[in-house]
Amino acid sequence: MALHRSLPLPEEGDLTRGFPDRNCLLQYLRQEFPAAAAIDGQLSPVIGGRKAAELALRRVDPLAYGRSRNFLKGAVTQLSPYIRHGLLGLAELKQWLVDQTRPWRDQEKLISELAWRDFWQRVWQQFGDGIWQNIEELKTGHSAESYGDSLPLDLRNGETKLACIDAFQRQLVNTGWLHNHARLWLAAYVVHWRRVRWQMGARWFLQHLIDADPASNNLSWQWVASCFSAKPYVFNRANLEKYAGDSFCRSCAMVNSCPFDASYEQIQGQLFIPIQPNTNKLNDNKLRAENSNLANHNLGKEKLVKPLLWIHQESLGPANPLWRAWPEAPGLFVFDRGCIEHGQIGLKRLGFVYESLLELPLVLRNGDPVLEIQAFAKRCGCDGVLTQAPLDPHLKRIIAALQQQLPVVEVACEPFVDLPSPPQLQRFTKFWKLAEPLLREQFINE
C-alpha cells in the first residue's frame, strides 16, 4: 500500500515520526508513554506495519495450517496482530485464499477460523460493553461470586512452579503473542484451577497481547469459563503433551504432583459441581432485533467538502475504505492518553501500533481524542470527520462526543460474508451453518 499525501506543517505536540532504528523508537516510546512502559518495557519481536503483514501472509500455508494448527510448533499464521489492527482485512484474506485456486477442503479450516473472528465481532457489535459480563450462566456448579477478583501474584510473575504455565506467562509478557492453544490452557488454569473470574485474566491478556482484540479475547475467555459455551473447557497432561511435546513435563518441578495428570472425568469431578442441564439460553428475538437495527454507514450519508480522516486502532490498513476515497484529506491518529495512563495497554502493543503508523502519512498525537480531533479540524480548516465505522464501544463514544461539535461520517468495511438475514449468535455452529455455503460458493465460482 503506497499512500502519498502531504502532511500539515508540524506543530507543538505532534509525535515524532522518524527513527534511525527500533532501539531509538523504544527509547522514545518509554519517554512518551511511561504508563505503558511500566507494564512491559520492551518492543515485541513481531514487527508492525503493512509491509510486515504482507510478508507474514506470504508465509501462510492453508493446508499445513489445517493439519497442524493445534500443535505449538504447528504452521499457525501469526496474522492476528495484523488482522486486529486492520492491516489485513477479513474480506481481503478471504479473497487471497480464493485467489490461491486451491480446493475448498484444503482451505476450509483457515476460512472457518477467520469466520470465528467475524462471529466474535458480530457478537461484540451487538453486546458492546456487555462482553465484560457473563452472557450466560456458568456451567461449573459454582456461583459467579465464588471466583476471585484478582490475579494471583505467582501467576502474574510466572512463579507457579508449573513449567507449562510459567512458560506461557513468559511468552505472553516477553513477546506479546501466544499460540491459541496455549491461551486456552492458560485461561483454563486461571479460571478453573485457580478459581479467578475470567474478567481478570481477560484484562491481563489485553494489557500484553499485541493482537488484543476485546471480541476474540473476552468471548474466548467466556467460552473457556462456560458462560458462552455449553460446558467449561479443561485440559489434562495427556492433551498438553500431545500438542506441546513433553519438554514442559520433563523440566517441571511439579512433575510428581501435576494438577493436570488425570483423566478428563477425574479433573471435572475435582473442579466442578454436577448441575442440571442449563436451559437459560440467549434471547434470539432480542439479538435479531438489535442486529437489524445496526447502522448502515456509507460515504453519502453526509456531504463534507474538506473532511479530516480520523484513523483509529481498528483501521490501519488498506481495508479502511477511506484511504483511496479521500486521497487528499489530512489524516490523524490519536493515542488515547486516558486509556494508556489507566494501564490498559502495554508498550509492546503500543509499539506495534506506533510502528504501523510510521508507514502512514498521518499526524500522530497523544491526548484526549475528542479534543485532539477538534483541534486538528480547526488546524486544517476541515468541516467534518470521516472514519472507519468502529466496533469498540469506546471509539463509538468518542464519535458521539465529536458529533456535538462536528459532523462525523462512519464508513463500513467490506464484510467477510454477506448473510441474507441476521444470524443467531448463540453458538458459532449456527452462524457457520449460514456462512459456510455462501463462502464455499465463492471458492467454487472463482
The answer to whether the CB of 51 falls within 8 A of the CB of 365 is: no
Residues with Cβ < 8 Å from 443, sequence gap 6 or more? 97, 98, 104, 107
Question: Is 67 buried (19+), middle (13-18) or exposed (0-12) by CB count in 10 A?
Answer: middle
Give the model's pLDDT for residue 9.
Answer: 85
Instruction: Name the stretches of the chain with pLDDT < 70.
Output: 1-5, 277-302, 445-446
Crossing angle of helices 393-402 and 369-380, in 10° steps, is: 50
State the pLDDT at residue 62. 96
Q: What is the pLDDT of residue 44?
A: 95
What pLDDT digit, counting tens, does each position of 31-74 carry? 999 999 999 999 999 999 999 999 999 999 999 999 999 999 99
Angstrom distance (rounded) from CA 125 to CA 236 = 34
**343 φ/ψ sector (left φ>0, alpha ψ -120 to 50, else beta):** left
Q: Which residue(s) pair with 385 in the sheet?
A: 308, 408
What pLDDT, on the 0 to 100 scale, is given for residue 326? 87
| DSSP assignment string, 137-200 | --SSSS-GGGSBSS--HHHHTT-SS-HHHHHHHHHHHHHS---HHHHHHHHHIIIIIS-B-HHH
DSSP string covering 296-337: ---TTSS--SSEEEE--TT--STTSTHHHH-TTS-EEEEEEH
How, if at all, do strands 331-336 and 408-411 pair? unpaired
pLDDT value of position 124: 95
pLDDT at 4: 57
| pLDDT of amino acid 318 | 81
What does the DSSP 8-state code read for residue 230? Answer: S
Q: How far apart are CA 279 and CA 12, in angstroms?
A: 59
Total-model pTM: 0.92
User: What cell numbers appear for 146 in the block?
Assistant: 465464588
Amino acid 10 reads: P
Spatial contact of 397 and 287, defined as CB atoms under 8 Å apart: no
Ramachandran category for residue 363: left, alpha or beta (phi over 0 → left; psi -120 to 50 → alpha): beta
pLDDT on residue 367: 97
